[in-house]
């Protein structure tokens, strides 16, 4: 009878632990999803603010920059836009790198943790670390393989730098900076996450990657319904 009772108690504890892990997994997924979407929105707002400051009226959402009072899918959404950047002062990438650096510093220096603070701070650090890392790596690798520039924010800025200064290697400088900053912050964040008890549960990185993929779908949808018009 005692053995049966002990077995039952062990089973109940095991079930409870599994439920807690599943709950953590879903919370972590939604936290990362919201952070990806919100951080991308701030990135796009950076583009909008810098365009406004440079006298260029644009609309921004969650993915693409276009003409004011227009939405993706409209015939005039990108009319007049070129793949080349027309001004150096652009806050899109700096906003993302700023969030990456700040939250990595907070993550690595914070001593006391609660489950919510661990999820949010680690989420902001990890999510922003790959928001520019992935597209930059794809852009650089694609450009090297095809011998054709694969346009991303950093490549456009580098192209303008190289054109204005006549120094060819500056083309790759913004992308190199984004890649280095992102990798350093990502490595530091991953190392710190191993020491935080609240981030020790199965499936954490699967949920993180899933949130990254789903964020693209969510951003593309929100981009078509929510726009900010940056009027000059």
Q: How many CA atoms lie within 13 A of 179 on its CB side?
A: 16
Encode pLDDT of 103-130 as tens digits. Answer: 999 999 998 888 889 999 999 999 999 9
**Residue 137 falls within a domain, yes or no?**
no
Q: What pLDDT score does 29 carry? A: 97
The pLDDT-based confidence of 229 (bands split at 50, 70, 90) is very high
* Structural domain count of the chain: 1
Report, in this order, helix, strand and coil percent for the chain, each rounded to 5. Answer: 70, 5, 25
**Residue 157 falls within a domain, yes or no?**
no
**Residue 140 falls within a domain, yes or no?**
no
**Residue 155 falls within a domain, yes or no?**
no
**Residue 50 falls within a domain, yes or no?**
yes
The pLDDT-based confidence of 9 (bands split at 50, 70, 90) is low
The pLDDT-based confidence of 8 (bands split at 50, 70, 90) is low
Measured between alpha carbons, how far is 189 from 208 in angstroms, rounded to an integer? 14
From 62-66, 145-149, 178-182, 224-228, the region with the lowest mean pLDDT: 145-149
Q: What pLDDT score does 131 carry? A: 97
Mean pLDDT of the chain: 89
Q: Is the pLDDT of residue 83 over 70?
A: no
Bridge partners of 65? 60
Encode pLDDT of 17-28 as tens digits. Answer: 788 888 899 999
CB of 168 closer than 8 Å to CB of 186: no
The pLDDT-based confidence of 144 (bands split at 50, 70, 90) is confident
Average pLDDT over residues 76-90: 74
Six-digit token string for 73 = 């899918």
* Structure-derived torsion over alpha carbons of residues 144, 148, 154, 160, reported in degrees to the nearest 10: 130
Identify the residue with better confidence: 190 or 2. 190
Q: Is the pLDDT of residue 11 over 60?
A: no
Confidence (pTM):
0.90
**Residue 8 falls within a domain, yes or no?**
no
Identify the residue with better confidence: 181 or 140. 181
Encode pLDDT of 154-210 as tens digits. Answer: 988 998 899 889 998 899 899 999 999 999 999 999 999 999 988 887 889 999 999
**Residue 70 falls within a domain, yes or no?**
no
Average pLDDT over residues 84-100: 86
Domain of residue 99, residue span? 18-63+90-132+181-230
Task: Report the percent of the chain where pLDDT is more than 70.
Answer: 91
The pLDDT-based confidence of 48 (bands split at 50, 70, 90) is very high
Q: What is the DSSP string of 50-85?
A: HHHHTT--EEE-SS-EE-TT--TTSTTTTTT--SS-
**Residue 222 falls within a domain, yes or no?**
yes
For the beta sheet containing 65-66, the strands, ordered from the edge strand earlier in sequence to the opposite edge, are: 65-66, 58-60, 228-230
- Give the distance between the most distant pair of CA atoms in the chain: 85
């Amino acid at each position: 009878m005692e053995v049966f009772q002990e077995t039952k108690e062990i089973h109940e504890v095991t079930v409870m632990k599994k439920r807690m892990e599943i709950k953590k997994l879903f919370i972590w997924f939604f936290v990362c999803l919201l952070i990806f979407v919100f951080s991308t929105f701030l990135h796009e707002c950076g583009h909008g603010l810098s365009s406004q400051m440079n006298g260029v009226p644009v609309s921004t959402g969650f993915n693409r920059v276009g003409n004011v009072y227009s939405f993706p899918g409209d015939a005039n959404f990108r009319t007049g836009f070129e793949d080349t950047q027309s001004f150096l002062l652009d806050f899109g990438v700096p906003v993302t790198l700023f969030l990456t650096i700040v939250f990595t510093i907070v993550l690595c220096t914070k001593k006391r943790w609660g489950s919510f603070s661990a999820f949010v701070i680690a989420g902001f650090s990890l999510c922003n670390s790959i928001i520019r890392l992935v597209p930059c790596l794809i852009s650089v690798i694609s450009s090297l393989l095809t011998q054709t520039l694969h346009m991303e924010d950093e490549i456009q800025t580098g192209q303008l730098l190289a054109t204005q200064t006549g120094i060819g290697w500056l083309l790759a400088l913004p992308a190199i900076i984004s890649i280095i900053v992102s990798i350093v912050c990502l490595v530091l964040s991953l190392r710190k996450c191993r020491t935080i008890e609240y981030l020790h549960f199965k499936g954490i990185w699967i949920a993180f990657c899933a949130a990254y993929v789903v964020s693209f779908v969510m951003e593309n949808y929100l981009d078509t319904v929510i726009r900010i018009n940056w009027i000059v």
